[in-house]
Amino acid sequence: MNNPSLVSADTTAGELEVVLSAAQEAASALRDSTGGERASWLRAVGAVIDEERAELLDLAVAESHLDRAALDGEVKRTVFQLEHLAQAAESGELLRILAEPADADYPVAARPDLVQAMMPLGPVLVFTASNFPFAFSVAGNDFASALAAGCPVVVKANPGHPALSALTAEIVAAALAKAGAPKGAFAHIQGVEPGVAALRDTRIKACGFTGSLAGGRALFDVAVGRPDPIPFYGELGSLNPVFVTPAAAAARAEEIAAGFAASVSFRGGQLCTKPGVLIAPENSGILDAAATALAGLEPATLLTDRITGAYTEGTKSLSGLPGARVVAGSGGTSPTLVSIPPRECAGHRGRRHRGVLRAGGRRDRVPGHGRDRRDRPLARPEPHRDDSR
Protein backbone atom coordinates (compact mmCIF):
# COMPACT_ATOMS: atom_id res chain seq x y z
CA MET A 1 0.00 0.00 0.00
CA ASN A 2 3.02 2.27 0.40
CA ASN A 3 3.11 4.89 -2.35
CA PRO A 4 6.45 6.76 -2.49
CA SER A 5 4.89 9.45 -4.68
CA LEU A 6 2.92 10.62 -1.67
CA VAL A 7 6.15 11.95 -0.11
CA SER A 8 6.41 15.04 -2.24
CA ALA A 9 7.49 18.64 -2.10
CA ASP A 10 5.67 21.25 -0.04
CA THR A 11 2.00 21.73 -0.75
CA THR A 12 1.59 24.43 -3.39
CA ALA A 13 -0.65 27.47 -3.03
CA GLY A 14 -3.04 25.98 -5.57
CA GLU A 15 -3.20 22.65 -3.76
CA LEU A 16 -3.76 24.40 -0.44
CA GLU A 17 -6.65 26.36 -1.92
CA VAL A 18 -8.30 23.12 -3.02
CA VAL A 19 -7.83 21.62 0.45
CA LEU A 20 -9.24 24.62 2.32
CA SER A 21 -12.19 25.02 -0.04
CA ALA A 22 -13.08 21.36 0.37
CA ALA A 23 -12.82 21.62 4.16
CA GLN A 24 -15.07 24.67 4.19
CA GLU A 25 -17.63 22.89 2.02
CA ALA A 26 -17.52 19.83 4.26
CA ALA A 27 -18.08 21.83 7.44
CA SER A 28 -21.86 22.05 7.11
CA ALA A 29 -22.20 18.34 6.35
CA LEU A 30 -20.08 17.42 9.35
CA ARG A 31 -21.99 19.85 11.55
CA ASP A 32 -25.25 18.15 10.57
CA SER A 33 -23.88 14.61 10.95
CA THR A 34 -24.94 12.48 13.90
CA GLY A 35 -22.66 11.28 16.65
CA GLY A 36 -23.21 7.76 15.44
CA GLU A 37 -21.98 8.65 11.96
CA ARG A 38 -18.86 10.30 13.31
CA ALA A 39 -18.24 7.29 15.52
CA SER A 40 -18.41 4.98 12.50
CA TRP A 41 -15.83 7.11 10.66
CA LEU A 42 -13.43 7.03 13.60
CA ARG A 43 -13.83 3.29 14.01
CA ALA A 44 -13.16 2.80 10.31
CA VAL A 45 -9.88 4.69 10.68
CA GLY A 46 -8.94 2.71 13.79
CA ALA A 47 -9.62 -0.59 12.04
CA VAL A 48 -7.47 0.16 9.01
CA ILE A 49 -4.62 1.55 11.16
CA ASP A 50 -4.65 -1.75 13.02
CA GLU A 51 -4.80 -3.75 9.79
CA GLU A 52 -1.85 -1.89 8.26
CA ARG A 53 0.14 -1.97 11.50
CA ALA A 54 3.15 -3.91 10.13
CA GLU A 55 3.85 -1.61 7.19
CA LEU A 56 3.26 1.49 9.28
CA LEU A 57 5.67 0.23 11.92
CA ASP A 58 8.36 -0.47 9.32
CA LEU A 59 8.23 3.16 8.19
CA ALA A 60 8.00 4.52 11.73
CA VAL A 61 11.10 2.63 12.87
CA ALA A 62 13.06 3.72 9.80
CA GLU A 63 12.15 7.40 10.10
CA SER A 64 11.91 7.99 13.86
CA HIS A 65 14.65 5.60 15.05
CA LEU A 66 12.39 4.68 17.96
CA ASP A 67 12.07 1.17 19.35
CA ARG A 68 9.64 -1.01 17.41
CA ALA A 69 8.03 -2.46 20.54
CA ALA A 70 7.38 1.04 21.90
CA LEU A 71 5.93 2.12 18.56
CA ASP A 72 3.74 -0.96 18.44
CA GLY A 73 2.34 0.05 21.82
CA GLU A 74 1.75 3.52 20.41
CA VAL A 75 -0.29 2.08 17.55
CA LYS A 76 -2.41 0.29 20.14
CA ARG A 77 -2.82 3.57 22.00
CA THR A 78 -3.83 5.35 18.79
CA VAL A 79 -6.51 2.78 18.02
CA PHE A 80 -7.76 3.11 21.60
CA GLN A 81 -7.92 6.91 21.27
CA LEU A 82 -10.00 6.60 18.12
CA GLU A 83 -12.39 4.21 19.86
CA HIS A 84 -12.58 6.43 22.94
CA LEU A 85 -13.52 9.47 20.87
CA ALA A 86 -15.95 7.35 18.84
CA GLN A 87 -17.74 6.44 22.05
CA ALA A 88 -17.75 10.08 23.15
CA ALA A 89 -19.30 11.15 19.84
CA GLU A 90 -21.84 8.34 19.95
CA SER A 91 -22.93 9.06 23.50
CA GLY A 92 -23.56 12.75 22.88
CA GLU A 93 -21.33 13.80 25.78
CA LEU A 94 -19.41 16.16 23.51
CA LEU A 95 -22.57 18.23 23.07
CA ARG A 96 -22.53 19.16 26.78
CA ILE A 97 -26.21 20.00 26.66
CA LEU A 98 -27.58 22.34 29.32
CA ALA A 99 -31.36 22.69 29.48
CA GLU A 100 -33.60 24.90 31.60
CA PRO A 101 -37.36 24.36 31.40
CA ALA A 102 -39.81 27.16 30.77
CA ASP A 103 -40.84 29.12 33.84
CA ALA A 104 -43.97 31.28 33.51
CA ASP A 105 -43.44 32.62 37.04
CA TYR A 106 -39.81 33.65 36.59
CA PRO A 107 -39.41 36.89 38.64
CA VAL A 108 -38.16 39.12 35.82
CA ALA A 109 -40.38 37.83 33.03
CA ALA A 110 -41.83 34.58 31.79
CA ARG A 111 -38.94 32.45 30.57
CA PRO A 112 -39.13 30.05 27.61
CA ASP A 113 -37.29 26.74 27.33
CA LEU A 114 -33.55 27.39 27.16
CA VAL A 115 -31.13 24.87 25.67
CA GLN A 116 -27.40 25.28 25.22
CA ALA A 117 -25.26 22.81 23.28
CA MET A 118 -21.76 22.72 21.84
CA MET A 119 -21.55 23.25 18.09
CA PRO A 120 -18.58 22.40 15.81
CA LEU A 121 -16.21 25.29 15.20
CA GLY A 122 -15.43 24.38 11.60
CA PRO A 123 -12.20 23.27 9.88
CA VAL A 124 -9.36 22.53 12.30
CA LEU A 125 -5.67 22.68 11.41
CA VAL A 126 -3.49 20.14 13.24
CA PHE A 127 0.30 20.42 13.50
CA THR A 128 1.59 16.93 14.28
CA ALA A 129 4.34 15.85 16.67
CA SER A 130 7.71 14.31 15.83
CA ASN A 131 8.24 12.01 18.81
CA PHE A 132 4.85 10.32 18.82
CA PRO A 133 4.47 9.43 15.13
CA PHE A 134 1.16 7.68 15.72
CA ALA A 135 -0.61 8.93 18.86
CA PHE A 136 -0.01 12.63 18.11
CA SER A 137 0.35 12.54 14.37
CA VAL A 138 -1.91 12.15 11.34
CA ALA A 139 -4.52 9.90 13.00
CA GLY A 140 -3.76 10.98 16.55
CA ASN A 141 -5.63 12.67 19.37
CA ASP A 142 -6.16 16.05 17.75
CA PHE A 143 -7.46 14.49 14.54
CA ALA A 144 -9.80 12.20 16.47
CA SER A 145 -11.15 14.87 18.83
CA ALA A 146 -11.80 17.32 16.00
CA LEU A 147 -13.61 14.77 13.85
CA ALA A 148 -15.60 13.52 16.84
CA ALA A 149 -16.77 17.10 17.43
CA GLY A 150 -17.87 17.39 13.80
CA CYS A 151 -14.99 19.44 12.42
CA PRO A 152 -13.15 18.84 9.14
CA VAL A 153 -9.44 18.25 9.78
CA VAL A 154 -6.44 19.54 7.83
CA VAL A 155 -3.27 17.81 9.08
CA LYS A 156 0.12 19.42 8.57
CA ALA A 157 2.68 16.60 8.30
CA ASN A 158 5.69 16.52 10.59
CA PRO A 159 9.01 16.61 8.68
CA GLY A 160 10.43 14.02 11.06
CA HIS A 161 8.43 11.20 9.48
CA PRO A 162 7.21 12.31 6.04
CA ALA A 163 6.78 8.85 4.48
CA LEU A 164 4.87 7.58 7.50
CA SER A 165 2.68 10.69 7.47
CA ALA A 166 1.94 10.25 3.78
CA LEU A 167 1.05 6.57 4.11
CA THR A 168 -1.08 7.21 7.19
CA ALA A 169 -2.88 10.01 5.36
CA GLU A 170 -3.56 7.71 2.42
CA ILE A 171 -4.97 5.08 4.77
CA VAL A 172 -7.10 7.59 6.69
CA ALA A 173 -8.51 9.21 3.54
CA ALA A 174 -9.45 5.83 2.03
CA ALA A 175 -11.07 4.63 5.26
CA LEU A 176 -13.13 7.81 5.65
CA ALA A 177 -14.29 7.70 2.03
CA LYS A 178 -15.30 4.06 2.33
CA ALA A 179 -17.15 4.77 5.58
CA GLY A 180 -19.16 7.55 3.92
CA ALA A 181 -17.55 10.62 5.44
CA PRO A 182 -18.11 13.84 3.44
CA LYS A 183 -15.49 14.79 0.88
CA GLY A 184 -13.16 17.35 2.46
CA ALA A 185 -13.51 15.91 5.96
CA PHE A 186 -9.79 15.17 5.99
CA ALA A 187 -6.72 16.49 4.18
CA HIS A 188 -2.95 16.26 4.52
CA ILE A 189 -0.52 19.08 3.70
CA GLN A 190 3.27 19.41 3.88
CA GLY A 191 5.68 22.26 4.51
CA VAL A 192 6.21 25.06 7.02
CA GLU A 193 5.01 27.91 4.81
CA PRO A 194 1.85 26.09 3.65
CA GLY A 195 1.10 25.32 7.31
CA VAL A 196 1.40 28.95 8.34
CA ALA A 197 -0.60 30.06 5.29
CA ALA A 198 -3.36 27.66 6.27
CA LEU A 199 -3.35 29.00 9.82
CA ARG A 200 -3.77 32.55 8.53
CA ASP A 201 -6.69 31.56 6.29
CA THR A 202 -10.10 32.58 7.61
CA ARG A 203 -11.55 29.19 6.66
CA ILE A 204 -9.53 27.57 9.46
CA LYS A 205 -11.42 27.99 12.73
CA ALA A 206 -9.11 26.33 15.30
CA CYS A 207 -5.57 24.98 15.57
CA GLY A 208 -4.10 22.03 17.47
CA PHE A 209 -0.34 21.88 18.08
CA THR A 210 2.06 19.65 20.00
CA GLY A 211 5.68 20.74 19.86
CA SER A 212 8.40 23.12 20.94
CA LEU A 213 7.87 26.31 22.90
CA ALA A 214 9.33 28.45 20.14
CA GLY A 215 7.30 26.85 17.37
CA GLY A 216 4.11 26.83 19.40
CA ARG A 217 4.52 30.45 20.45
CA ALA A 218 5.02 31.53 16.83
CA LEU A 219 1.89 29.70 15.70
CA PHE A 220 -0.09 30.99 18.69
CA ASP A 221 0.81 34.54 17.70
CA VAL A 222 -0.48 33.88 14.18
CA ALA A 223 -3.70 32.31 15.48
CA VAL A 224 -4.56 35.14 17.89
CA GLY A 225 -3.20 37.90 15.67
CA ARG A 226 -5.65 37.25 12.85
CA PRO A 227 -8.47 39.75 12.23
CA ASP A 228 -10.67 36.89 13.47
CA PRO A 229 -8.65 35.28 16.30
CA ILE A 230 -9.13 31.54 16.67
CA PRO A 231 -8.57 29.05 19.51
CA PHE A 232 -5.07 27.60 19.71
CA TYR A 233 -4.92 24.27 21.54
CA GLY A 234 -1.19 23.93 22.20
CA GLU A 235 0.93 21.68 24.35
CA LEU A 236 4.44 23.10 24.44
CA GLY A 237 7.87 22.27 25.83
CA SER A 238 8.79 22.68 29.48
CA LEU A 239 11.94 22.55 31.61
CA ASN A 240 10.23 20.31 34.20
CA PRO A 241 12.36 21.22 37.26
CA VAL A 242 12.61 18.64 40.06
CA PHE A 243 13.26 19.74 43.65
CA VAL A 244 14.63 17.28 46.21
CA THR A 245 14.16 18.12 49.87
CA PRO A 246 16.87 17.27 52.44
CA ALA A 247 14.57 14.67 53.99
CA ALA A 248 13.93 12.95 50.67
CA ALA A 249 17.63 13.00 49.81
CA ALA A 250 18.54 11.44 53.13
CA ALA A 251 15.89 8.74 52.81
CA ARG A 252 16.26 7.64 49.16
CA ALA A 253 19.06 9.38 47.30
CA GLU A 254 19.88 6.31 45.17
CA GLU A 255 16.24 5.79 44.19
CA ILE A 256 15.80 9.45 43.21
CA ALA A 257 19.00 9.41 41.16
CA ALA A 258 18.01 6.22 39.36
CA GLY A 259 14.57 7.57 38.54
CA PHE A 260 16.02 10.84 37.31
CA ALA A 261 18.51 9.05 35.05
CA ALA A 262 15.83 6.73 33.65
CA SER A 263 13.48 9.62 32.86
CA VAL A 264 16.24 11.71 31.26
CA SER A 265 17.34 8.89 28.97
CA PHE A 266 14.06 7.12 28.15
CA ARG A 267 13.17 7.39 24.46
CA GLY A 268 16.21 9.57 23.93
CA GLY A 269 14.96 12.10 26.47
CA GLN A 270 12.40 13.25 23.92
CA LEU A 271 9.31 13.24 26.12
CA CYS A 272 7.50 16.10 27.82
CA THR A 273 7.90 14.30 31.15
CA LYS A 274 11.70 14.44 30.97
CA PRO A 275 13.11 16.52 33.85
CA GLY A 276 15.41 19.19 32.49
CA VAL A 277 16.91 20.28 35.80
CA LEU A 278 17.22 18.72 39.25
CA ILE A 279 17.88 20.83 42.35
CA ALA A 280 19.20 18.76 45.23
CA PRO A 281 20.97 19.31 48.55
CA GLU A 282 24.74 19.57 48.31
CA ASN A 283 26.69 16.40 49.20
CA SER A 284 23.51 14.30 49.15
CA GLY A 285 25.08 11.70 46.88
CA ILE A 286 22.45 12.22 44.19
CA LEU A 287 24.95 13.80 41.77
CA ASP A 288 27.35 10.85 41.88
CA ALA A 289 24.56 8.28 41.76
CA ALA A 290 22.89 9.91 38.76
CA ALA A 291 26.23 10.21 36.96
CA THR A 292 26.92 6.52 37.53
CA ALA A 293 23.48 5.55 36.22
CA LEU A 294 23.96 7.59 33.05
CA ALA A 295 27.60 6.75 32.42
CA GLY A 296 26.97 3.34 30.89
CA LEU A 297 24.27 4.41 28.45
CA GLU A 298 24.94 4.48 24.72
CA PRO A 299 24.32 7.58 22.56
CA ALA A 300 20.81 7.68 21.13
CA THR A 301 19.82 8.26 17.52
CA LEU A 302 17.45 11.19 17.88
CA LEU A 303 14.32 11.89 15.90
CA THR A 304 15.65 14.46 13.46
CA ASP A 305 18.87 16.22 12.49
CA ARG A 306 17.39 19.42 13.89
CA ILE A 307 16.85 17.85 17.31
CA THR A 308 20.35 16.35 17.21
CA GLY A 309 21.86 19.73 16.44
CA ALA A 310 19.85 21.42 19.18
CA TYR A 311 20.93 18.78 21.69
CA THR A 312 24.64 19.06 20.94
CA GLU A 313 24.48 22.86 20.96
CA GLY A 314 22.52 22.81 24.21
CA THR A 315 24.99 20.58 26.01
CA LYS A 316 27.87 22.67 24.69
CA SER A 317 26.22 25.85 25.97
CA LEU A 318 25.56 24.38 29.42
CA SER A 319 29.07 22.99 29.68
CA GLY A 320 30.48 26.43 28.96
CA LEU A 321 28.79 28.14 31.91
CA PRO A 322 31.16 29.44 34.61
CA GLY A 323 31.87 26.66 37.09
CA ALA A 324 29.94 24.06 35.11
CA ARG A 325 31.22 20.48 35.23
CA VAL A 326 30.21 17.60 32.95
CA VAL A 327 29.75 14.61 35.25
CA ALA A 328 28.24 12.21 32.69
CA GLY A 329 28.21 12.09 28.91
CA SER A 330 30.80 11.33 26.26
CA GLY A 331 29.68 13.90 23.71
CA GLY A 332 27.46 13.60 20.68
CA THR A 333 23.99 12.42 21.64
CA SER A 334 25.00 10.51 24.76
CA PRO A 335 22.90 11.32 27.87
CA THR A 336 24.72 14.26 29.44
CA LEU A 337 24.64 15.55 32.99
CA VAL A 338 26.10 18.93 33.87
CA SER A 339 26.59 20.15 37.43
CA ILE A 340 26.13 23.90 37.74
CA PRO A 341 27.02 25.94 40.86
CA PRO A 342 24.01 27.59 42.47
CA ARG A 343 25.47 31.05 42.06
CA GLU A 344 25.08 30.64 38.28
CA CYS A 345 21.42 29.72 38.55
CA ALA A 346 19.15 32.76 38.44
CA GLY A 347 16.54 32.72 41.13
CA HIS A 348 18.34 30.27 43.40
CA ARG A 349 21.04 32.45 44.96
CA GLY A 350 21.46 31.84 48.66
CA ARG A 351 18.78 29.18 48.75
CA ARG A 352 19.16 26.11 50.92
CA HIS A 353 19.28 23.71 47.98
CA ARG A 354 22.84 24.22 46.78
CA GLY A 355 23.39 21.46 44.24
CA VAL A 356 22.03 21.90 40.74
CA LEU A 357 22.16 19.16 38.13
CA ARG A 358 21.16 19.96 34.58
CA ALA A 359 20.27 17.37 31.98
CA GLY A 360 21.87 18.62 28.80
CA GLY A 361 20.17 19.61 25.55
CA ARG A 362 16.63 20.58 24.71
CA ARG A 363 13.54 18.92 23.36
CA ASP A 364 12.35 19.97 19.95
CA ARG A 365 8.77 19.13 20.84
CA VAL A 366 6.62 17.90 23.65
CA PRO A 367 4.02 15.14 23.43
CA GLY A 368 1.05 14.39 25.60
CA HIS A 369 2.79 11.48 27.30
CA GLY A 370 1.68 11.34 30.91
CA ARG A 371 -1.29 13.62 30.31
CA ASP A 372 -4.79 13.01 29.16
CA ARG A 373 -5.79 15.33 26.30
CA ARG A 374 -8.44 13.10 24.79
CA ASP A 375 -11.29 15.56 25.14
CA ARG A 376 -10.01 18.86 23.83
CA PRO A 377 -13.17 20.84 23.15
CA LEU A 378 -13.22 21.83 19.50
CA ALA A 379 -16.72 23.20 19.65
CA ARG A 380 -18.32 26.35 20.96
CA PRO A 381 -21.45 26.71 23.07
CA GLU A 382 -24.43 28.06 21.18
CA PRO A 383 -27.94 28.62 22.47
CA HIS A 384 -30.81 26.90 20.81
CA ARG A 385 -32.43 29.28 18.34
CA ASP A 386 -35.86 29.41 16.88
CA ASP A 387 -35.06 30.09 13.19
CA SER A 388 -38.67 31.06 12.44
CA ARG A 389 -38.13 34.40 14.11
**Of 37, 52, 63, 235, which residue is the catalytic one?**
235
| Residue 153 CA: distances (Å) to CA of 89, 174, 290, 327 | 16, 15, 44, 47
Respond yes or no: is residue 272 known to be catalytic. Answer: yes
Ramachandran angles phi, psi of 94, nearest 5°: -70, -20
Of 272, 282, 298, 344, which residue is the catalytic one?
Answer: 272
Q: Which residues are catalytic?
A: 235, 272
